[in-house]
Amino acid sequence: MKKRILTGDRPSGRLHLGHLVGSLANRVKLQDEYDQFVLIADVQALTDNYENPEKVAGSVRDLVLDYVGAGIDPQKSTIVLQSQIPAIAELTVFYLNMVSLNRVLRNPTVKAEIEQKGFGDSIPAGFAMYPVSQAADITAFEANLVPVGEDQLPMIEQTREIVRKFNNLYGGTLTEPEALLGNYPRLVGLDGKSKMSKSLGNSIYLSDSPEEVNKKVASMFTDPTRLKPTDPGHVEGNPVFIYHEAFNPNKEEVADLKARYKEGKVGDVEVKQKLAVAINNLLEPMRLRREALAGNPEKIEEILRDGIRKGREVSESVLKKVKKAMKIDYEFLS
């Protein structure tokens, strides 16, 4: 039997090239080798967007379109909408007994996010507890492996602790997951800032039109020390060349552009035009798949309903075992 893996995203807007190199492309590969569940974590998204529910709910369909566009095949991967899986909420309540308040607040990932969001003294309890609910996500689907980058390792460690404590107390019930540690490179933004991110307005979206891509690439930051095309330029740390490396499959062309750039024998315009072509070639099949599905809203709903049905099936059997282990499977009710 194939091992089960769980991945997921908080729905908040459309996916961009940073998501593609960061994890999405990897999931498209993983779905052939593993039994993959992809969680649309709308409940988790609400922990820091509870004042903005339209944004969360309104991003669910977009996420399905981006997934399918990028190559996630609903026949191979199960796309699950978190809020429709009641077992996750129930498991979260039980798991809260398995952790101390200090332990969750010490979780490095959560700690960093709390600082970054500037909650001050008013950390929403739901937000602080989201690693516990993530442990419920992972165990509800009996995931063996969770693909993560270095920065998400504390989440998996927290889940493993909860699982071990539960199993020690109540007998072997839950599947202990392992991290499938991958190299998830972070893509710089169009402006050369460390990260492509929606809030920084420096992103190319998977759903951008060819014209939008051309315009965005033309606006990219390059080598700030190079004033004329005849000046020798720097390719290291230059966003345009970072993108060429990431998205242009024509390695000879990239090598040629780099060599000429260093000698001051190519202008930014040519480098950018070739980059825009490469990115548009990469995105074109994704746009076509996306548009085909966007024109068929019933199909989107069917994908969501199928995923919910499968997700409920698995998670309810886990919940049943958990309730039995915790002695709350009262016989007089059966």
Q: Can you give the binding site for ligand TRP, defined by CB under 6 A?
A: 6-10, 39, 41, 44, 134, 137-138, 146
By C-beta, is 44 or 78 nearer to ligand TRP?
44
What is the smallest separation between the CB atom of 146 and ligand TRP, expressed in angstroms? 5
CA nearest neighbour of 87 among 147, 144, 128, 39:
39
What is the smallest separation between the CB atom of 97 and ligand TRP, expressed in angstroms? 20
End-to-end CA distance of the chain: 32
By C-beta, is 10 or 289 nearer to ligand TRP?
10
By C-beta, is 31 or 44 nearer to ligand TRP?
44
Give the rounded distance of the alpha carbon of 166 from its chain centre. 28
By C-beta, is 27 or 274 nearer to ligand TRP?
27
Phi and psi torsions of 36, nearest 5°: -100, 130
By C-beta, is 141 or 241 nearer to ligand TRP?
141
Q: Could you tell me which residues are beta bridge partners of residue 129?
A: none
Question: CB nearest ligand TRP: which residue?
Answer: 8
Q: CA-based Rg of the chain, rounded to a whole angstrom?
A: 22
What is the smallest separation between the CB atom of 6 and ligand TRP, expressed in angstroms? 5
Tell me which long-range contacts 247-254 makes (C-beta under 8 A, separation of at least 24). 247/17, 247/275, 247/278, 247/279, 247/282, 248/274, 248/275, 248/278, 249/278, 250/278
Residues in the chain: 334
What is the smallest separation between the CB atom of 45 and ligand TRP, expressed in angstroms? 8
In terms of phi and psi (left: phi > 0; alpha: psi -120 to 50; beta: otherwise), the region of 118 is left
What is the smallest separation between the CB atom of 125 and ligand TRP, expressed in angstroms? 17
By C-beta, is 7 or 36 nearer to ligand TRP?
7
What is the smallest separation between the CB atom of 44 and ligand TRP, expressed in angstroms? 5
